[in-house]
C-alpha cells in the first residue's frame, strides 16, 4: 500500500525525456515510469526513431534500456547517431563525450522475431536484468517493444472472432508482464503499434457504435488515409497512455528519403505527434521533424486536427 503523496514525489523524478522540449511539455516531462506508453503510427511515421531516442536517453546518468525489436533489424546506426549528437551529449552526459559513447553499451538490444509466444519468452527473460542489473550504473529505466503488433500481423485481417479472442488473451499476458515490470522496477515501458484503415461499413468493423469506438481509440489522417491503431479496442484498454504519430507529404507524393526539414533541400514531410489519451495528459498535438540524429520538434505550434 502506498500513499498517493509519496507516489507524486516519485513520479516527477521518473520521466524519460524525449529530448524534444515541446513534446516533453505535452507529456509533462517525458515518457513516464510505471506506465505503459504506446506509440502508434503508420510505417515511416518515426516510431522507431522516437523509440531509439528514448532508449538512448534513458541511459543518461547510470541508466540502461532494453530494446526489443520484433520486426526488421535493430536501429543501431540511428542509436549511434543519436548518442553522438551534440544534443544528447549536452543534455544527458553533461557535455562528457566519452560518457556519451559509453551510453550505447547500456542499451540492450534483444531480437524477438516470430510469434507472440516468442515475444513473451523474450520479455520473461528480460526480468533477469531488471532484478539484477549488470552494474550499479546500469539500472534499467526503460523497456521498448518495437513493435507489439508485428507478432500478430499474420492473420489479423481474416481471423474472425475466435482469432480475436485468442489474440486478446496473448496481448493481455504481455500487458500483465510489462505492467509488472513497470511498477515493480520503476521502469518506463514503450511499445509501438501499427495502424489499420478505419473501417466502418464492412462486416467485421463495428458500426453503430463504431464511431464511438474509433473516436476512443484515436482516428487520424496520415498520408491521406483514415487510420486507427491496430489490435483493436481490447488492446486499447491495456496501455496507460497512447501517442499517435501522423505524417503528411507536403510536397509531391510518396516518401521522402533523408531529412525532413531542408538541410539537404529535401523537405517534404510534416509530422505530428498526438496525445490520444493518458491519465495525466490532456489531448494535444506537437509537430516535429526527423533529422539524421533523431526527432526534433518544430517551433511553430499548429492547432490540433479534429479526430
Least spacing, CB of residue 203 vs another protein, in Å: 4
Cell of 239: 496501455
Interface with another protein, residue 117, by CB under 8 A: no
Q: How far is the CB of 119 from another protein (least distance, A)?
A: 16
Taking the C-alpha atoms of residue 157 and residue 148, their distance in angstroms, rounded to an integer, is 16
Cα distance between residue 271 and residue 275, in whole Å: 13
Q: How far apart are CA 61 and CA 8, in angstroms?
A: 22
Reported as half-sphere exposure (CB side, CA atoms, 13 A), residue 30 has a value of 25
> Any contact of residue 161 with another protein (CB under 8 A)?
yes
Residue 132 found at the interface with another protein (CB under 8 A): no
Instruction: State the number of binding residues for another protein (CB under 8 A).
Output: 59
Stretch that binds another protein, among 4-12, 42-50, 86-94, 108-116 (CB under 8 A): 4-12
Would you list the DSSP string of 102-118?
A: HHGGGEEEEE--SSHHH
199 binds another protein (CB under 8 A): no
Site for another protein in 72-111 (CB under 8 A): none
19, 27, 35, 245: which one binds another protein (CB under 8 A)? 35
Between the alpha carbon of residue 286 and those of residues 23, 103, 189, 273, 307, the distances in Å are: 6, 28, 21, 5, 14
Contacts of 85 (CB under 8 A, 6+ apart): 293, 294
**Residue 26 binding another protein, by CB under 8 A:** no
* Of the residues 30, 218, 268, 294, which one makes contact with another protein according to CB under 8 A: 218
**Shortest Cβ distance from residue 191 to another protein (Å)?**
14
- 192 in Cβ contact with 145 (< 8 Å): yes
- Range in contact with another protein (rule: CB under 8 A) among 54-62, 174-182, 191-199, 260-268: 174-182
Q: Contact, 130 vs 187, CB < 8 A?
A: yes
Distance CA 230, CA 236 (A): 9
- From residue 186, alpha-carbon distances to 58, 140, 142 in Å are 12, 9, 9
Nearest distance from residue 193's CB to another protein, in Å? 13
Q: Which span sits near another protein by CB under 8 A: 10-18, 84-92, 102-110, 132-140? A: 10-18
Cβ proximity to another protein, 203 vs 252, nearer residue: 203
Give the binding site for another protein (CB under 8 A). Answer: 1-5, 7-12, 28, 32, 34-36, 161, 168-169, 171-173, 176, 179-180, 182-184, 203-213, 215-218, 232-234, 236-240, 242, 276-277, 279-280, 282, 306-307
Amino acid at each position: 500500500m502506498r500513499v498517493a503523496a509519496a507516489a507524486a514525489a516519485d513520479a516527477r523524478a521518473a520521466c524519460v525525456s524525449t529530448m524534444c522540449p515541446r513534446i516533453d511539455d505535452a507529456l509533462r516531462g517525458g515518457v513516464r515510469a510505471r506506465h505503459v506508453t504506446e506509440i502508434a503510427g503508420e510505417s515511416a511515421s518515426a516510431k522507431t526513431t522516437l523509440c531509439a531516442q528514448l532508449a538512448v536517453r534513458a541511459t543518461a546518468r547510470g541508466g540502461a534500456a532494453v530494446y526489443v525489436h520484433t520486426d526488421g533489424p535493430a536501429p543501431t546506426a540511428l542509436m549511434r547517431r543519436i548518442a553522438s549528437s551534440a544534443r544528447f551529449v549536452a543534455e544527458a552526459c553533461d557535455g562528457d563525450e566519452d560518457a556519451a559513447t559509453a551510453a550505447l553499451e547500456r542499451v540492450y538490444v534483444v531480437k524477438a522475431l516470430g510469434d507472440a509466444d516468442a515475444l513473451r519468452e523474450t520479455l520473461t527473460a528480460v526480468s533477469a536484468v531488471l532484478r539484477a542489473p549488470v552494474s550499479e550504473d546500469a539500472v534499467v529505466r526503460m523497456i521498448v517493444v518495437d513493435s507489439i503488433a508485428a507478432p500478430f500481423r499474420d492473420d489479423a485481417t481474416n481471423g474472425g472472432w475466435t482469432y480475436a479472442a485468442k489474440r486478446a488473451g496473448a496481448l493481455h499476458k504481455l500487458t500483465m508482464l510489462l505492467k509488472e515490470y513497470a511498477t515493480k522496477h520503476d521502469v518506463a515501458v514503450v511499445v509501438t503499434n501499427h495502424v489499420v484503415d478505419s473501417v466502418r461499413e464492412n462486416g467485421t468493423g463495428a458500426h453503430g457504435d463504431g464511431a464511438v469506438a474509433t473516436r476512443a481509440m484515436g482516428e487520424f489522417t496520415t498520408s491521406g488515409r483514415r487510420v486507427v491503431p491496430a489490435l483493436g479496442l481490447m488492446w486499447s484498454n491495456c496501455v496507460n497512455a497512447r501517442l499517435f504519430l501522423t505524417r503528411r507529404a507536403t510536397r509531391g507524393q510518396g516518401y521522402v528519403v533523408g531529412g525532413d526539414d531542408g538541410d539537404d533541400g529535401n523537405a517534404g514531410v510534416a509530422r505530428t505527434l498526438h496525445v490520444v489519451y493518458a491519465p495525466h495528459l490532456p489531448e494535444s498535438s506537437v509537430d516535429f521533424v526527423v533529422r539524421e540524429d533523431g526527432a526534433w520538434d518544430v517551433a511553430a505550434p499548429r492547432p490540433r486536427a479534429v479526430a
